[in-house]
């Protein structure tokens, strides 16, 4: 049984165990308000290795469409930069605006195009699950209150390994 499905009853109360992504996935399904802020409406698909492959394929196609050199812009490096940016709560627009050289500007263009492709296809990548939850909680107080009411206490195992986005969600 996966940890996301695990629970115990302690002193007559249900205690749930979950990692970030499965917990937020379960919470998020059908939760996002259907407005321009969240832009994905009620569509949310569970992220699997297949969707990770889909994300890689999207980025690879964008690099090819931009006629960029694969050696200068290796797929894994671009994926890592996009993941890092999302985990630091840096949007594609912010990334582009803060680019300080031609390489960063091109990476920013890839990131922006990638986000637009995901949005066009009503798709989310692994990092979006956290990023959109953070946005949901910071932009829609009523949703944050539901989360806070449901979970009075949150224990984070290996806290030293969480990224900024995870930290900000727990802090809320």
Q: Residues 94-142: pLDDT tens digits?
A: 999 999 999 999 999 999 999 999 888 777 787 887 888 888 889 889 8
Residue 8 DSSP one-character state: E
Burial of 103 (0-12, 13-18, 19+ CB in 10 A): exposed
Closest among 83, 103, 108 to 93, alpha carbons compared: 108
Alpha helices in the chain (DSSP H): 20-28, 49-65, 75-87, 92-97, 102-120, 126-139, 141-150, 164-171
Residue 81 pLDDT: 97
- Return the bridge partners of 7, or none: 16
């Amino acid at each position: 049984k996966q940890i996301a499905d695990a629970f115990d009853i302690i002193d007559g109360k249900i205690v749930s165990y979950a990692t970030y992504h499965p917990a937020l996935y379960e919470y998020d399904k059908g939760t996002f308000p259907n407005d321009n802020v969240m832009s994905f409406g009620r569509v949310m698909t569970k992220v699997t290795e297949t969707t990770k492959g889909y994300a890689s394929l999207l980025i690879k196609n964008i690099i090819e469409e931009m006629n960029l050199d694969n050696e200068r812009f290796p797929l894994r490096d671009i994926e890592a930069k996009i993941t890092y940016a999302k985990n630091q709560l840096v949007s594609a627009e912010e990334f582009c605006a803060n680019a300080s050289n031609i390489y960063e500007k091109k990476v920013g263009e890839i990131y922006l195009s990638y986000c637009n492709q995901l949005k066009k296809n009503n798709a989310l990548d692994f990092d979006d699950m956290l990023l959109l939850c953070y946005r949901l909680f910071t932009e829609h107080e009523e949703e944050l209150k539901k989360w806070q009411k449901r979970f009075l206490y949150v224990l984070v195992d290996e806290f030293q390994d969480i990224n900024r986005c995870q930290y900000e969600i727990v802090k809320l």
